[in-house]
Chains A and B, each alone.
Chain A
């Protein structure tokens, strides 16, 4: 069974620090990788996607992909209290199937 694993947290970081969120996946044929942010009571919001090995940067966010290790991560630089949310890792495995992880709760302390 195809799986996406995340540490449920909570991950607590001080304001201004780097938050590092990690995710592993089981299907070596996975094609695209996504990070969603979900605030309490809201729907998931796509914040980053990556499809090739290496790093992809967008503002304070960097997604990192290592297909050999089946590992994808999200770094949030200069973390802000407004970054406090649950972050969902998702993996597109083909055939219109996307597998979502259970999410990591992030708390950024002011």
Chain B
């Protein structure tokens, strides 16, 4: 299975600022996914990032707030812009394995607190 790392692992930010989260995979993958998980809640998909094309955003998420880059097949970034306390959450990067069953693997997550 793919090994995924994320940076930073956690951060405390002031409202109005932006934070860029990095996701690195140890193998080439086509699709990368960014999720948000608020305390005690399930996963919410923010967007899907395919190398070489614009990210596809889910309902309720917009590019101006969550710009995503996908410069190559092993790396992606998610920026949380103009943060408010409501953005406090865990942000998770995920990838599909190369196998035929589309199992997903998750990075360790970035715990963001906005004050």
Contacts and interface: CB of A to CB of B under 8 A. Distances in A.
B102 A32 contact: yes
Given A43-B107, A43-B108, A44-B106, A100 B43 contact: yes
Main secondary structure of the interface of B (DSSP, over half): loop
A71 interface: no
B72 interface: no
Interface stretch (A19-27, A74-82, A88-96): A88-96
A51 B96 CA distance: 16
A43 B109 contact: yes
Given A43-B92, A46-B1, A96-B31, A31 B102 contact: yes
Given A31-B102, A43-B106, A96 B43 contact: no
Contacts of A102: 41-42
Contact of A46 (B90, B92, B103, B109): B103
Chain B contact patch, size range = 10 to 19
Contacts of B90: 43
B104 A98 contact: yes
A101 B41 CA distance: 10
Nearest to A51: B101
B105 interface: yes
Nearest to A50: B101
Nearest to A32: B101
B77 interface: no
A107 interface: no
Interface of A: 31-32, 34, 42-46, 49, 51, 88, 90, 92, 96, 98, 100-103
Interface of B: 1, 31, 41-43, 48, 90, 92, 96, 101-109
